[in-house]
Structure 1
Amino acid sequence: MKQTRIHCQAPAKLNLFLHVTGRRADGYHLLQTAFQLIDRCDTMDIAIRTDNAIVRTNDIPGVSAETDLIVRAAQLLQQHTRCQLGANLTLNKILPMGGGVGGGSSDAASTLIALNHLWQTELNKAELMQLGLQLGADVPFFIFGENAFAEGIGEELQVIQTPERWFVVIEPGVQVPTPAIFSAKELTRDSKPVRIADFSSTAEMFWKNDLQTVACALFPVVDEAVTWLSQFGNAKMTGSGACVFCAFADEAAADKVINQVPDRWVSWKAKALSRHPMADLL
């Protein structure tokens, strides 16, 4: 019997490093980064509609249904495949917006994966990744479904193995607009390109996030969070901010730090994942 509904997870990501190596003629920045999946997730319930309507069934503060990436993802797949079915989309949002953990991109990717399965539109992973790129540079990674070394604008992906560990993540309480970071004249855009072998063999303390200096200057609270968390290890910002993270060998070590985080910040722990929880659907 054909499946008509699905409960899906949309995991967050951390950028273990992020270097800006140049800029294309169209203005997009050339990046190198290492994406790490973690088990902190938004969740969604998606059900088939027999008409072709795409309906987000719940309100999300600050995000209209028309601009929501999950609605846009569903519409894009529908148009691309000429599918006559629709969907009800219910999103439980816990990942911070403007936090650099990929929440919106992950939601969009999980929507594409789920509806490709429910609607039986039968796009393969590469086709779905190509479609997802129209929604954002991070979307293909979440469809790729494994930790990855990324190049280009983030869409050229190679699998990497990362250690089992835990992360403490601090939300400093601001939304960092990505365009403001990438358009800043202070942004370093000429980091020397590295090889995937370099990342695998070099201590992580030597890897940085080129966007962090700009974000810290524009949003001092991000700098405060980095400084505070740095007393426990190699803390850095993820993506274009605002979230800040530090890795720990085990859950007990992460808990010890979580218990000390100042009350002015939201903080949480997450475990490293080796693959996307929905990877079996592709």
Structure 2
Amino acid sequence: MIHTWPSPAKINLFLYVTGVRSDGYHYIQSLFQFLNYGDTLKIIPNKKGTIELFTGNNSLLNIKNSIITAAELLKEKALYYGRKKTSNFGAKIFLNKKIPIGSGLGGGSSNAATTLIVLNSLWKIKFTLKELATLSLKIGSDIPAFIMGNTTIVEGIGEILHPINRQEKWYLIVYPNLPILTKDIFSSYSIKKNTTKKSIDFLLSSQFYNDFENTVKKKNKKIKKLISMLSLYAPSRITGTGSCVFAEFNDEKSAQKIYSLLPYNVQGFITKSVNISPLHRAFYKKNMQFF
């Protein structure tokens, strides 16, 4: 049976840089929240040995997409660890892209995580979720949180996860129709002093902030104006190192009211946060096993 799988978006309710490694990777503390919104992937396994990606967004076909990278990594590591002879493992993957590129909503990382989890199951490789999370760090630092599938505090370079439960809220997500690539923000990001690493209890009881927000606002007046406008009505910040701005509400009606005030030159949607990833909920619903 062929299924279509969720590849959910996320927001960073806070994001702090606590240090930099010698290789340039940044140590962070972040609160990683899933949204009931995202891309979908239809994955059809075969024995042709090739991974093929199909999508209406042609720009994603002209680069080394995270989906292809994830599938090839899974084949390589399964063979290396003697889990399976994978030379004839293949798949056709159909991506329905809703998460904007460069938005800070984690689309590429989420796509990679969904690919790893689903193909691990369909190919019967039997890596555990923790093993997949470790493998995924070779692709991107956000991917382990997507794989483990819970609202979580993320530390280190993305490999240290502290799952939590948080009251589910409604969010207005606004995309200003301009992408911001993570590598560009990190390369232009400068701070006089890193944020001091704090305890989880302290982080959750303090006002949330994103250390990259000033850098993004200085580079993009449109985003600065958007944050100022939304902050009149609700707590509002950028997410991750991207261009999307989110505003938090206790109910859908309040979010709809502010959505109606958005300027014409932006895109927006309203969604609810979830403590369990929609991908994990889909596995439970279909009575499938991760490993």
Aligned-partner SS, 2:209:
coil
Shift of 1:184: 2.0
Gap change, CA 1:237 and 1:117, over 3 Å in 2: same
Which range moved further: 51-60 or 20-29? 51-60
Decide whether the 8 Å contact of 2:15 with 2:209 is kept in 1. Answer: yes
**AA paired with 1:250?**
D
What residue in structure 2 maps to residue 40 of structure 1?
37
What residue in structure 1 maps to residue 239 of structure 2?
238
CA distance in 2, matches of 1:207, 1:258: 22
What residue in structure 2 maps to residue 228 of structure 1?
229
Q: 1:56 and 2:53 equivalent?
A: yes
What residue in structure 1 maps to residue 82 of structure 2?
none
What are the ranges of 5 or more consecutive residues in structure 1 without an aligned counterpart? none
Match of 1:125 among 108, 124, 129: 129
Match of 2:108 among 89, 104, 108: 104
What residue in structure 2 maps to residue 19 of structure 1?
16
What residue in structure 2 maps to residue 213 of structure 1?
214
What residue in structure 1 maps to residue 96 of structure 2?
92
Query: Where in structure 2 are the equivalents of 1:168-207 lying within 5 Å?
Result: 168-184=172-188, 186-187=190-191, 189-202=193-206, 206-207=207-208
CA distance in 1, matches of 2:208, 2:124: 42
CA distance in 1, matches of 2:161, 2:3: 28
**AA paired with 2:148?**
F
Gap change, CA 1:81 and 1:130, over 3 Å in 2: same
Decide whether the 8 Å contact of 1:149 with 1:159 is kept in 2. Answer: yes
Q: 1:81 and 2:78 equivalent?
A: yes
Shift of 1:186: 3.1
CA deviation digits over 1:178-205, x for unaligned, max 9?
Answer: 1221122534551111111113333xxx
CA deviation digits over 1:1-45, x for unaligned, max 9?
Answer: xx5x33100000000000111101111111110000001110010
Aligned-partner SS, 1:57:
strand
CA distance in 2, matches of 1:97, 1:278: 20
Give the TM-score normalised by the residue count of structure 1: 0.94
What are the ranges of 5 or more consecutive residues in structure 2 without an aligned counterpart? 80-85
Decide whether the 8 Å contact of 1:20 with 1:189 is kept in 2. Answer: no
CA distance in 1, matches of 2:14, 2:203: 9
Gap change, CA 1:185 and 1:51, over 3 Å in 2: closer
Gap change, CA 1:243 and 1:78, over 3 Å in 2: same
CA deviation digits over 1:51-88, x for unaligned, max 9?
Answer: 11101133423222551111111111111113232000
Decide whether the 8 Å contact of 1:188 with 1:210 is kept in 2. Answer: no
Aligned-partner SS, 2:69:
helix
Q: 1:67 and 2:64 equivalent?
A: yes
The sequence identity of aligned pairs, in percent, is 34
CA distance in 1, matches of 2:55, 2:11: 27
Decide whether the 8 Å contact of 1:9 with 1:43 is kept in 2. Answer: yes
CA distance in 2, matches of 1:66, 1:186: 29
CA distance in 1, matches of 2:54, 2:11: 29
Root-mean-square deviation (CA, aligned residues, Å) is: 1.4
Gap change, CA 1:188 and 1:111, over 3 Å in 2: farther
Give the TM-score normalised by the residue count of structure 2: 0.91
Aligned-partner SS, 1:94:
coil
**AA paired with 2:39?**
D
What residue in structure 2 maps to residue 272 of structure 1?
273
Aligned-partner SS, 1:36:
strand
Which range moved further: 56-65 or 164-173? 56-65
Which range moved further: 142-151 or 178-187? 178-187
Decide whether the 8 Å contact of 1:23 with 1:189 is kept in 2. Answer: no
Aligned-partner SS, 1:113:
helix
What count of residue pairs does the alignment treat as equivalent? 276
